[in-house]
Amino acid sequence: MVKVGIVGGTGYTGVELLRLLASHPQAEVAVITSRSEAGTSVADMYPNLRGHYDNLCFSVPDTKTLGACDVVFFATPHGVAHSLAGELLAAGTKVIDLSADFRLQDAEEWAKWYGQPHGAPELLKDAVYGLPEVNREQIRNARLIAVPGCYPTATQLGFLPLLEAGLADASRLIADCKSGVSGAGRGAAVGSLFCEAGESMKAYSVKGHRHLPEITQGLRRAAGGDVGLTFVPHLTPMIRGIHSTLYATVVDKAVDLQALFEKRYADEPFVDVMPAGSHPETRSVRGANVCRIAVHRPQGGDLVVVLSVIDNLVKGASGQAVQNLNILFGLDERLGLSHAGMLP
């Protein structure tokens, strides 16, 4: 049984971790922290978890208690894991970070996008980017795992087959992406209010979003060189979901793109390449750790359109974190994650 600690259990990714781990046969949540809710029962805060965590209460973060766990998840704002990860790693505890703290390998680049100096640049050499479809073998031997962001997960999985095969013009990639409001987190903010986000849709951070360097870092690796990416995120009036519509120019029209994608993801338990002509919907992955992909070549031209959908809180965050846990501890990768999406 893997003994689990969670730092920051009161946000959406924290409660999603709890929901998924409640059905995990080889993991037990022993510690969950929250400074603001210390002493509160998990079952009192989250009635949906009654009967699963009735004896578990939130506590103030303590490195000694957390260090007694086999693995600690950080479901925290950026900067928090910087201050605690080093002590936990020194104690022999594995760290799986759902924040952006260790996703970028360049500390100066991180500081530029997150508006503060990187708090633990010495740990970057140990950080493994936790996209299983790319780094599964490195994850198996990792001490510190950086779980990819939601937009980066959907976007990279959609572009990877084209770039790895050298088919796409890597200098002209476009990612037109939409996110549900839960991607903004649980904190109170005017833009996330029902009256503000409902019955409306808008683009934001067109000049540059924090996920842009993370996406380009992964795409450069896939392409084996520089890439030119235009990434435009949008806020949509739904709770969960990411829909990425991806555009790439592919000059060789003889390539069977459907076969290319099916072959690339044939052995991936959480990537579903849909039949030719499909249009995946975000509702089909709601609550599930699945990325559904469809590839199109409109009018038989050289512009390829890839449709990629995930649940931003599952495959885009907590589900992918549990997937990393399973790989890290040599478990069946599907444990705690085999449930289907929720419809309607």
Residues serving a catalytic function are 150
Three-state DSSP state, 57: strand
| Helix, strand, coil abundance in the chain, percent, nearest 5 | 35, 20, 40
Q: Tell me the torsion sign for CA atoms 250, 255, 257, 260.
A: negative
DSSP string, 202-260: EE---S--THHHHHHHHHHHHHTS---EEEEEEE-SSSS-EEEEEEEEB--TTS-HHHH
**DSSP per-residue letters across 108-161:** HHHHHHHTS--S-GGGGGGEEE--HHHHHHHHHT-SEEEPPPHHHHHHHHHHHH
Q: Is the peptide bond before 275 cis (omega within 30 degrees of 0)?
A: no
Tokens representing 232 are 């435009």
Quickly tell me which residue has 């080093």 as its tokens. Answer: 86
Residue 307: how many other CB atoms lie within 10 Å = 20
CA distance 278 to 306: 10
Distance in Å from the first CA to the final CA of the chain = 35
CA-closest candidate to residue 324, choices 147, 84, 172, 88: 147
Cα-based distances in Å from 164 to 138, 239, 287, 304: 18, 33, 29, 15
